[in-house]
Structure 1
């Protein structure tokens, strides 16, 4: 066997610009709003579920409330994480590079290839445009 095709990780980085910061803030704010809307829906569902259970099966109320409380707690934690990330975005330095995501790509390797060159691939974006592949 003279060569082999592997799937390698590719790190995608973004250069912080005003446009990047604005887009990141907008995306995070929208995600926070979605969670808040979901939390309101959960409150409404809880009221409806409790009233139904009071009529049909009152002994099921504590278990149902516990499940809903766990879901509410999970949503609140996710909301807090997003708020923290929102603060982080505000502190980013223009021109710095941040991890934007990870992808995979195929690569053909042969005997004698430099392993560091095979694995150490990253793509750099600036305002959605690829500016470097290194």
Structure 2
């Protein structure tokens, strides 16, 4: 047996588009909550005696900036999703697959890229 990377592609439907959009909005909400929590923790630490306010501020602002960048990326994904037409294929993820290899196996077929095509959470075909 040999392990090989296989792309998982999703065919966009109205249902999958709604689900992806909902997932993206949930990610943004989570990131916003993390930013609020970081600000709260920052204020809490700054009120303690013997701590460097500048160091705390710099550290927390860096973490908040990271989350805001992630939010911008998710916003961009939402824009891209809005432009996608129903029936379009998008690459969702990559998974490991086991491939049986034995003497006489065509190596080019083993190493050729393959993909699992999913539509509304159901595998509809496997491209070899």
Whether TM exceeds 0.5 here: the answer is: yes
Q: How does 1:30-109 map to 2 (within 5 A)?
A: 30-52=26-48, 56-58=49-51, 60-109=52-101
Q: Which moved more, 1:65-74 or 1:40-49?
A: 40-49
Please, what TM-score do these two structures have when normalized by structure 2?
A: 0.92
Per-residue CA shift, 1:85-115, capped at 9, x if unaligned? 1111111111111101110111122344333
Larger radius of gyration: 1
Question: Alignment RMSD, CA only?
Answer: 1.2
Please, what TM-score do these two structures have when normalized by structure 1?
A: 0.88
2:15 corresponding residue in structure 1: 19
2-structure distance, mates of 1:112, 1:24: 43
Structure 2 alignment gaps of length 5 or more: none
The partner residue of 2:116 within 78, 101, 123 is 123
Structure 1 alignment gaps of length 5 or more: none
Deviation at 1:61, TM superposition (A): 1.3
